[in-house]
């Protein structure tokens, strides 16, 4: 059988095509009949003609009118921007007061910036302790006194004292020696009036060298006490 092109129509379009077809049939049949009835003055036919005219009018409206367009989709309303509530913003990270940094820099310890705004104060082991000793040396005490007084005059900090050794000797001995030396420095600072709840101490032994332990100069640099002053909200 021959193939015919078939046009796919939407349901509304098919309905309008059917209405047009019926309209054409009525125009071809009902209207001439109505005219003839009028000429013959037949009352029944006059009523039929009026009805046919009404049907023609309605079908014409159906055939020519298109369905109303779908309502336009409204875009979602943008979220209202809200002003930050006064006093509700997160507080800035605490920083060490400039006066404290200045005083610590004048203490006699070597000072360097550390992570998160902290300061790292370093006392060489040869100054802080006599060889093999766990007691704070006399040369180190004035330095620690100045550090303690600067902290007392400027609140807003926490302190960690770290002890370090070189790699000469047994590892366990070096670990314990570094812990005892760090504790001695922390206790000395507490004796100068610092709040014990803001201080801590830890021995790092030979595990955090800053120089080469293969040389005498490197080993001397690794034997040290470090005092890390970190900003904190009191």
CATH topology of domain 98-231: 60s Ribosomal Protein L30; Chain: A; (3.30.1330)
Per-residue pLDDT, 132: 85
Q: Are 107 and 151 in contact (CB under 8 A)?
A: no
Per-residue pLDDT, 75: 63
Strand order in the sheet with 199-205: 110-113, 119-124, 224-231, 157-164, 199-205
> In the chain, where are the structural domains located?
11-64, 98-231
Which has the closest alpha carbon to 104: 137, 159, 143, 140? 143
Per-residue pLDDT, 219: 95
Per-residue pLDDT, 87: 47
Per-residue pLDDT, 14: 54
Judging by beta carbons within 10 Å of its beta carbon (0-12, 13-18, 19+), is residue 234 exposed, middle or buried? exposed
CA angle 89, 91, 95 (to 5 degrees): 160
**CB burial readout 28-59, b (16+ within 10 A) else e:** eebeeebeebeeeeeeebeeebeebeeebeeb
Rounded average pLDDT per 10-residue block, the chain, 234 residues: 48 54 54 51 51 55 54 61 49 86 96 92 94 93 98 96 96 96 98 97 96 95 97 84
């Amino acid at each position: 059988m021959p193939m015919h092109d078939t046009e796919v129509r939407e349901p509304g379009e098919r309905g309008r095509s059917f209405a047009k077809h019926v309209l054409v049939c009525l125009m071809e049949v009902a209207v001439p009949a109505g005219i003839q009835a009028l000429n013959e003055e037949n009352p029944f036919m006059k009523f039929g003609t009026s009805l046919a005219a009404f049907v023609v009018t309605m079908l014409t409206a159906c055939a020519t009118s298109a369905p109303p367009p779908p309502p336009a989709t409204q875009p979602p309303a943008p979220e209202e921007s809200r002003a930050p509530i006064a006093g509700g913003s997160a507080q800035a990270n605490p920083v060490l007061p400039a006066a404290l940094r200045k005083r610590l820099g004048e203490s006699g310890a070597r000072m360097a910036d550390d992570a998160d705004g902290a300061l790292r104060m370093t006392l060489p082991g040869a100054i802080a302790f006599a060889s093999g000793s766990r007691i704070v040396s006399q040369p180190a005490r004035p330095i620690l006194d100045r550090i303690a007084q600067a902290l007392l005059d400027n609140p807003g900090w926490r302190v960690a004292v770290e002890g370090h050794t070189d790699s000469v000797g047994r590892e366990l001995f070096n670990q314990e020696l570094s812990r005892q030396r760090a504790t001695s420095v922390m206790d000395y600072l507490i004796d100068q009036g610092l709040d014990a709840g803001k201080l801590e101490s830890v021995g790092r032994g030979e595990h955090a060298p800053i120089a080469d332990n293969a040389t005498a100069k490197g080993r001397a640099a690794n034997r040290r006490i470090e005092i890390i002053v970190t900003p904190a909200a009191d």
